[in-house]
Every structure is written in C-alpha cells, then in structure tokens.
Amino acid sequence: MRWLSPICLVYLSAFLLLAKDESIPKKAWSILELGLHDKKTEKRAQAVSALGLMANDKRAIQTAEQALQDPDPDVRRAAIKALGDMNAKSSLPQIKTLAEHADAKTVVAIAAVLAKFKDPEGYDIYYQLLTGKRKSGDSVLDGIRDRNAIEKMGIESAIGFLPGGSIGTGAYDYFKHNDQSNIDVTAVNELVHDPDPVVSKALVQSAFNGKEAVQLAALTALAKRDDASVVDQIEPDMYSSKPLISYTTAAAVLHLLNVPAKQRVRR
C-alpha cells in the first residue's frame, strides 16, 4: 500500500468532509420521503408536519401541497398546518378548495392558516364558531356541535410546538396528564430567541434527552434559531427509532443547511 503525502491527506480529508456534508440533505430527504409514503397514516402525518420547519423551501411546499390530496384527513390537516408554518401564501387557493367537503377539525385548521395571512374567509369561519352562523348566512361548520371538541382543539393548538396537536396524536391527553413536560416545552419555546450561546448547547442536549415532547420542542427551537452550527450535533437524531423525532430532525437539518450565511446565528 502506498503512503499518501501529508498534503494529499489534507486534500483527501477536505474532500471526504465535503462529500459528507453533501450527503446529509440526501439522507434527510430520504428519511422524509419514507415517512411521506408510509402505509400508516400516523407516519405520513408526522412527516408532513415536519415539513413546516422548512420555511420558504420550494420542494417542501410542493410536497405539502401534494399531501393536501391524501385520502386521510389527519394527513390533510398536517399539510394545511405545515403550509401555514412555511408561509406558503401561494398555496391558499388549494387549501380553500378543501373547506367545502372538509370535516370540522379540518375546517378549523383551514381557518387558522387563512387568518394567519389575514384572509377574510378565515375570519368568517371564526365568526361562525363564535356566533353559530356565517356572515354570509350559510354554514360550513354544521358538523361542530360539541363545545368540548372545540375546546380540545383549542388546547391542542395552544401547545405551540411542531408537530403536535393539529394531527390528532393525543397531544391534549398527553399534556393534560403530564404537567412537567408541559412546563419543559414552554421553557424551550421561550428560549428560541435567546442569543446566549449556552442556550444552543442546552437545546441540543434536550433534543436527545427527556420525553418525546421535549425533544420535539428542542429540535423545533433549534431550527427557528437558524443556527447551522448545530447540524452535525443533531444529525444523529435523524436515525432515531422514534419516527416523529427522525422526521423532525431531518426537516430541521434541511432548513438549517439552507439558511443564508448572513442570516445564521453567529456562535
């Protein structure tokens, strides 16, 4: 075996490092694609929800738009919420077409996205929730009769971490009986905009330790901080045995790798 000179070793190391970095997006998308095409509704919904971390990403937006046609309403609701999280205003016409034949929960999900973009139709739906009738006189929410169901949806939406209550994974009951996790998730959410470098370290640790809800909140917070320096540290979570952790990490990694250098948090 021939020995390589020190200079060659330097170039080889640099090449392998670049190759490793280039493969990360492919691995991340492969993980998401597996979830997006899984036979199980829950996994498809989780993978679609994770796309919401990838704001303004064309491929992610197109993928979520395709999921609007999924046969299962849980997946469609996940796609609606993901498009809202990605600021995909151009997707509103496709989202609106679902309202006419949607179930109550899906209509509420549609309203939330429309209201985010100050679309009058979103406010009209909320008006109907409050008054029991639509401004125009007709109704698209006749299916909502149980006020407890509306309250439950409200609590799920208030949880504030992605992906969660909007895809019907029992988030309401989980948080109702687990106050400590609720507190931890709230703390993580509040740290998103804290510029202290020690916060990133704490969030990375939380992404691997603790209950699943806290891990998800930490991964989401790291994505929102636009700190690309944590990619290598959280990449192992892409291969987690927990699908929701795996999909969320993959989406977070893809987002962070696409953050323009001038926008990244300096550490």
Q: What is the pLDDT of residue 171?
A: 39
Give me the helices (H) in 159-228, please: 171-176, 179-190, 197-208, 212-224
Q: What pLDDT is recorded for position 21? A: 52
| Residue ranges, the chain, pLDDT below 70 | 1-22, 129-184, 261-267
Residue 202 · residue 215 · CB < 8 Å: no
Provide the pLDDT for residue 155.
Answer: 42
Note whether 36 and 67 are within 8 A (CB).
yes
pLDDT at 259: 84
Q: In 10 A of CB 182, how many CB atoms? A: 16
For the chain, the straight-line distance linking the first and the last C-alpha, in angstroms and rounded, comes to: 42
List C-alpha distances in Å: 92 to 51, 96, 171: 17, 6, 26
pLDDT of residue 162: 34
Domains along the chain? 24-263 (1.25.10)
Angle between helices 120-131 and 104-116 (to 10 degrees): 130
H or E element at residue 110:
helix 104-116
User: pTM above the 0.85 mark?
Assistant: no
